[in-house]
Structure 1
Amino acid sequence: MVDISDKKDSIRESTATGSIELKNETVKSIKEDKISKGNVLATSRVAAIESVKNTSSDIPLCHNIKITGVDIDYEIEDEAIKAKVTVKTTDKTGVEMEALNGVSTALLTIWDMVKSKEKDKNGQYPSTEINSIKVDKKIKREIK
């Protein structure tokens, strides 16, 4: 693990995004809150927040940092859901891994909750795919 003892705390923010491709009828069921496991986006939001807070447990060389804010937004399309996770801290190191971990977990949670609707007759997922997970923004500012 990198030694950050001599670094000063600063205001840090990172936004990560990604998407999951789904069948049109699955997206419609999510919009209408007709998924048997429950409210997909509410559950995904809670899972993303927990994932952000536990990043240092999931990724061995990440520092355990104080999280001061997490915001999750979704954009629903006809055959996809895009997730955006923004994480904030006032600490010695950035939060891009926390944002990436949050968006990954948000999308995986959506998949888990809708997998019964996404399976084909052979139990496969030909239409389901997680794509384009990336850091869109990273900010570092001095604390005044």
Structure 2
Amino acid sequence: MGPEQTPPELTHFRDGLPCMVDVTEKAATTRTATAEGWVRLPPEARAALEAGTNPKGDPLTVARLAGLAGSKRTAELVLLCHPIPVTGADVQVTLEEAGVRIVATVRTTAPTGVEMEALTAVSVAALNVYDMLKAASKALEITGVRLLGKTGGKSSDYRAADREV
């Protein structure tokens, strides 16, 4: 940055200290966000899952419930995230050729978006798949957590370039 340029104003820092952005004056609007993530399975974990012999039980059902709970607790985990009312959430956890795919869609009517809630839902669900399958293999890999799309709010809608939501 040259001497004539001023640094950009940081939204989450004021006077060098972290702060929560004030959204008091923003209108509450309907907002949605969809995120996905994957848990890659080594052969022994896939075999236990497919055969129903996983010693801890059904990881896909547990992960779905964990993702729903995670979406509602995002503000407790993401330090500068606003607590917002999650008015709807859907978490799908499916076994596919590439591994366990997790897709979460979260909805709200609030003055700020739900991207972090969708990403948290996916992340918490993935951690629960790992926890439930770690007895079968420690080589599980959580990967590909990303935002697929969002609607509502001041910024424009977003769709991942390689994905229709």
* Structure 1 residue aligned with 2:141: 129
* Structure 1 residue aligned with 2:93: 74
Count residues with an aligned counterpart: 135
Q: Is residue 48–residue 106 contact of structure 1 (8 Å, CA) maintained in 2?
A: yes
Give the structure with higher Rg (CA): 2
1:105 and 2:124 matched: yes
Q: Is residue 35–residue 147 contact of structure 2 (8 Å, CA) maintained in 1?
A: yes
Query: Given the alignment, which residue of 25, 34, 50 partners 2:53?
Result: 34
Give the deviation of 1:34 after TM superposition.
2.3
Q: Which runs of at least 4 in structure 1 moved beyond 6 Å after TM superposition?
A: none
Q: Residues 1-144 of structure 1: matches in 2 within 5 Å?
A: 1-119=20-138, 125=139, 128-140=140-152
Q: Which has the higher helix share?
A: 1
Report % sequence identity.
36
TM-score (norm: length of structure 1): 0.87
Alignment partners' CA distance in 1, 2:144 and 2:137: 20
Pick 1 or 2: higher relative contact order, CA cutoff 8 A, min separation 6: 1
Alignment partners' CA distance in 2, 1:65 and 1:32: 40
Alignment partners' CA distance in 2, 1:130 and 1:38: 20
Structure 2 portions without partners, runs of 5+: 1-19, 155-165
Alignment partners' CA distance in 1, 2:97 and 2:47: 8
Indicate the larger mover: 131-140 or 25-34: 25-34
Q: Is residue 14–residue 138 contact of structure 1 (8 Å, CA) maintained in 2?
A: yes
TM-score (norm: length of structure 2): 0.76
SS at match of 1:76: strand
Report the aligned-residue RMSD. 1.6
SS at match of 1:94: coil
Give the deviation of 1:141 after TM superposition.
6.5
